[in-house]
Amino acid sequence: MADLLFIAILVAFFALAVVFVRACERILGGVEDEVVEVTDTAETDLVTS
């Protein structure tokens, strides 16, 4: 029984890790297929806003 519990914890953690990968992908905007061109004019975000 204890073995099943610990195996379940491991599987659950790595399932959570997969969810975390998706969450990080969302933070990046989920535009995996696009390469992003950032120029000097893109300095409006973050610091100056």
Q: If binding is defined by CB under 8 A, does position 12 make contact with another protein?
A: no
Whose CA is closest to 21, among 9, 30, 11, 12? Answer: 30
CA distance 49 to 43: 9
Interface mask toward another protein for 19-38; x: CB under 8 A: -xx--xx-xxx--xxxxxxx
Tokens for 34, please give them: 């696009």
42 is a site residue for another protein (CB under 8 A): yes
Binding stretches for another protein (CB under 8 A):
2-3, 5-7, 9-11, 13-14, 17-18, 20-21, 24-25, 27-29, 32-40, 42-43, 45-48
